Amino acid sequence: EIVLTQSPATLSLSPGETAALSCRASQSVNTYLAWYQQKPGLSPRLLIYDASHRATGVPARFSGSGSGTDFTLTITSLEPEDFAVYYCQHRANGLTFGGGTKVE
Amino acid sequence: QITLKESGPSRVKPTQTLTLTCTFSGFALTARPVGVGWIRQPPGEALEWLGFIYWDDDKRYSPSLRSRLTITKDTSKNQVVLTMTNMDPVDTGTYYCARRLPYDGDWGSGYFDFWGQGTLVTVSS
């Protein structure tokens, strides 16, 4: 099973700042990686799939990069509604989620 | 507009079988490459994929839970049903159904583009 490790566990930032979230895979997942946003009490929302493709309706301030084992979700100019937990998920040889990063 | 909604018991006893229903609208589980998946989330913890069912009745399960899971569909009702046997307190959590982002291939995996609101299941005697 491929393990996804997200860091940091918590990221403390202010509105207007840029967030960089990391997801590292225990073995290569090519570009088969997605990012989700989850707010308290709500279901996850797909932001990015296949490492860098924004899902429908996702603002351009969300961008994904990386390949192989190292991936980054960047949120430029944080809006108040961006403070949430973010999960990465791979689809290479199975499917697992990372442990999440809380942006506060 | 695509929507999904989970329904079922909020509480089950240890060793009992859990049955949850996902009722969806806005898409049909009758054409390639449509699929619906189940995901769960223990309180305060990360997400865990459980399984998929596809338009052609192909099913894929998480290797760690395969022996306890069954997923079926009723296309006439736009419903997918998850059954999990031998429930334990560690199975407590919110259970979600979600549409698999439609694309061909890699049927044992995928992404989730539309999610239900989730249903909290507590396993306790």
* Mean pLDDT value of segment A2-15: 97
Among A residues 38-97, those touching chain B with beta carbons less than 8 Å apart = 42-46, 49, 55-56, 87, 89, 91-97
Instruction: List, in order, residues 6 or more apart from B24 with CB less than 8 Å away.
Output: B2, B3, B4, B5, B36, B78, B79, B80, B97, B99, B116
**Percentage of chain A lying above the pLDDT 70 cut:** 100
Q: Is the pLDDT of residue A93 over 90?
A: no
Q: What is the DSSP letter of B104?
A: S
HSE toward the beta carbon, residue B37, CA cutoff 13 A:
26
**Letter for the amino acid at A79?**
E
DSSP B31: S
Residue B107, pLDDT above cutoff 90: no
Give the span between the Cα atoms of A30 and A67, in whole angstroms. 5
User: Using the beta-carbon criterion (under 8 Å), do B46 and A34 form an inter-chain contact?
Assistant: no
d(CA A52, CA A63): 6
Residue B30: which residues within 8 A CB-CB, separation 6 or more? B55, B75
Dihedral (CA of B70, B75, B77, B79) sign: positive
Q: Which two tokens stand for residue A81?
A: 């509604």
pLDDT: which is higher, B94 or B31: B94
Q: What is the predicted pLDDT for the residue at B32? A: 87
- Whole-angstrom CA distances from A9 to A20, A36, B38 are 12, 15, 25
Contacts of B106 in chain A (CB under 8 A): 91
- Confidence at residue A53, expressed as pLDDT on a 0 to 100 scale: 97
Among candidates B49, B96, B116 on the partner chain, residue whose Cβ is nearest the Cβ of A95: B49
* Overall average pLDDT of the B77-101 stretch: 97
DSSP state of A82: G
Q: How many CB atoms lie within 10 A of CB A70?
A: 13
Residues A37-62 have a mean pLDDT of 97
